[in-house]
Amino acid sequence: MTKYVVQVKDCFSAVYKYLDDKYTIPHKWREWTIEDMDIFLAQNKQFLSRKDHIGFFRSFCSKVKDAKKDDIVLTRTSVGVAINRFTYWVYNEDLGRIEHLKLDDKCLIMRINNG
């Protein structure tokens, strides 16, 4: 079976692609599958407003207090990956590249189960 190649177009697809290359993560969640990525991206705002991005990662991650490398960092409007305890990277759509930000109290940190 040919592996579906995720195109990096926003913060979610960037994180999904990064994690999918390194870890075993689910390719479907509720009625959504990885092949629907473009549809999902088109409905990005709905996805974020429903906090589906948190629900998706909660399905295979556990919430942790202190971040370490490759933990998932969730905010109200974005998804990123922890670099270390202090910072995380996130894909900035406006800049068209990844940037690093400081972890703060508003970040929800999740770790892949058995990851």
Partner 1 sequence: MSKTITNSVRSDDQLAILHLFEFHMDKDLDGTVGEAGEILYFTDHDIFVTDGTNEHTPLAITFDRLVEDFSMSSDTINVSIDNINGALSTEAIASEWRNNKAKITRVVYTPPSQTLDGDNYDYGLVHYEAATTYPRLDISSVTKDVYTLFEGVIDTFNASEQSLNGTLTTKFSHWNKAYPTRTYNQNEFTSIVDAINETIYWGRQETV
State the residues that interact with partner 1 by CB under 8 A. 8, 14, 17-18, 66-67, 83-87, 89, 96-100, 102-105
Residue 79, φ and ψ in degrees, nearest 5: -130, 135
Residue 101, φ and ψ in degrees, nearest 5: -130, 165
Closest separation in Å from C-beta 49 to partner 1: 26
Closer of 8 and 112 to partner 1 (Cβ): 8
Closer of 45 and 96 to partner 1 (Cβ): 96
DSSP conformation letters of 16-57: HHHHHHHS---SEETTEEGGGHHHHHHTHHHHHHTTHHHHHH
Closest separation in Å from C-beta 50 to partner 1: 27
Closer of 31 and 105 to partner 1 (Cβ): 105
Name the nearest CA neighbour of 14 among 100, 74, 89, 83.
89
Closest separation in Å from C-beta 64 to partner 1: 12
Closer of 50 and 78 to partner 1 (Cβ): 78
50 by Cβ neighbours in 10 Å (0-12 / 13-18 / 19+) ranks as exposed
Closest separation in Å from C-beta 97 to partner 1: 5
